[in-house]
Structure 1
Amino acid sequence: MTKKLSLIALVLLTVQLTGCFPAVVGGAAVGGSMAADRRTSGIYVEDENIELKTMKRMSQYMDKASHINVTSYNRIVLLTGEVPNAGQQAQAETLTREISNVRSIHNALTIGFASSISDRTNDAYITTKVKARFVSENMFPANVVKVVTEAGVVYLMGIVSEKEANDAVEIARSTEGVSKVVKVFEYTN
């Protein structure tokens, strides 16, 4: 019971910190994350714009029963979440393709009912654990790998060397609660 209460407290704290930290730190957070990011500042901003524009289109044209997350890294878009049918899955990709400057799309949407708040909280917790292990293992700069978790599946994005990719996959794969790891990396020479 104590372990469960600790887990709930950690998740609640994580959710609270994620919402407050950018508000408190503001521009310094962006500047700090940019220093460790391998994308140019222009691409970083473009990724943010791609995510916002895509989410706006999704809210306008997708079935309200859909739960879609959009993550852009170096103009490669990862779609995760759930949609009610194959038509909506294809529609989400089509809407994303219409956004300017999108280089490619990794459509990982599944067909089924939208995940529950409990499922999403568990995914956020898994993401937090993977990121924390990146920092504690100190095998590569932790900020060069973006972690997205959906239904226990961890998606890893970033511009990395093969060694960094292998290390990140091994850390993620061996993290409790991770059912599968999917690489959406770009490789450096």
Structure 2
Amino acid sequence: MTTNTALNRQGRWRHRAVALGVTVTLLGTLSACAPLVLGTAVGGAMVATDRRTSGALVEDKGINIKAANRILEAIGDRGRVSVNAYNRKVLITGEVPTEADRTAVAQAVAGVENVNEVINELVVGPTAGLGTRASDALLASKVRATLIDARDLMSNAFDVVVSRGEVYLMGIVTEREANSAAQLTASISGVRRVIKVFETISEAELANRLPRPEPGSSVPASPTETTPAYRPAP
């Protein structure tokens, strides 16, 4: 790789990381007094290239909302909980004060209609401070930018969740894509651990799922972000 090529690639990465980082940081700031956070896909292009069925997309949005309500009923304002549903699989991250709260959250989410699996990654301990959350937001932007730049990956196939420096990768991907994304993510400075929460499909299944656009048309990539749920300010 020539020096100019390396500099150009680094420049593109920084530009995308900064642009994505601003978006994520703003969302994190808005949710500073809203401990409950929902995962949601944004952008029409995202929907057009998402590997989930349209029905699964709708159900995931419903799961996020219903799970948020169930969690509020279960533990109130104790702790900080993030919910991310992908193809009816729900990842729970964040912090709660007791093991009983951790169990209550998992049970509340498992009881939501259409949920097939719950991955409970809640930590029992004090709520992460603003510094940790800001660091996670920046790290998430770096991971998304890296996946966007990867020539052998479709970035919209991945949902990225970062909690305390640990990166959770969700999506419907092949084993090749899963390993490539995990390796790229692990190479990013600041990543403590990479956890693969994928639904794995074969290369043949992937070929059947890929959209077939009209000649000359293109669908731009759009990242997945987290959107803060409403919660009265403390």
> Which bracket does the TM-score occupy, shorter chain normalised?
0.7 to 0.9
Residues of 2 paired with 1:58 and 1:31: CA distance?
Answer: 29
Task: Point out where structure 1 has 5 or more consecutive residues left out of the alignment.
Answer: 1-6, 20-28
Aligned length, in residue pairs:
174
In structure 1, the partner of 2:130 is 117
- How far off its partner does 1:60 sit? 2.3
- How far off its partner does 1:119 sit? 1.1
- How far off its partner does 1:139 sit? 1.9
What pairs up with 1:5-16 in 2 under 5 angstroms? 11-12=21-22, 14-16=24-26
The one of 189, 193, 197 equivalent to 1:176 is: 189
Secondary structure (helix, strand or coil) at the match of 2:112 reads: coil
- 1:90 counterpart = 2:100: no
Alpha carbons of 1:120 and 1:43: their partners in 2 closer, same or farther (altered >3 Å)? same
Secondary structure (helix, strand or coil) at the match of 1:154 reads: strand
Alpha carbons of 1:167 and 1:90: their partners in 2 closer, same or farther (altered >3 Å)? same
In structure 2, the partner of 1:131 is 144
Say if 1:54 and 1:96, in contact at 8 Å, map to a contact too.
yes
Task: Point out where structure 2 has 5 or more consecutive residues left out of the alignment.
Answer: 1-16, 30-41, 203-234
Greater RCO, CA 8 A, separation 6+: 2
Larger Rg: 2
Secondary structure (helix, strand or coil) at the match of 1:82 reads: strand
Say if 2:95 and 2:126, in contact at 8 Å, map to a contact too.
yes
What pairs up with 1:1-189 in 2 under 5 angstroms? 11-12=21-22, 14-16=24-26, 30-189=43-202
Residues of 1 paired with 2:26 and 2:185: CA distance?
Answer: 24
Residues of 1 paired with 2:150 and 2:19: CA distance?
Answer: 24
CA RMSD of aligned residues (A): 2.2
Say if 1:65 and 1:114, in contact at 8 Å, map to a contact too.
no
Query: What TM-score do the two structures reach when normalised by structure 1?
Result: 0.85
Alpha carbons of 1:174 and 1:108: their partners in 2 closer, same or farther (altered >3 Å)? same
Residues of 2 paired with 1:113 and 1:17: CA distance?
Answer: 21
Higher fraction of helix = 1
- How far off its partner does 1:31 sit? 2.3
Query: What TM-score do the two structures reach when normalised by structure 2?
Result: 0.69
Alpha carbons of 1:114 and 1:14: their partners in 2 closer, same or farther (altered >3 Å)? closer
Percent of paired sites with the same residue: 36
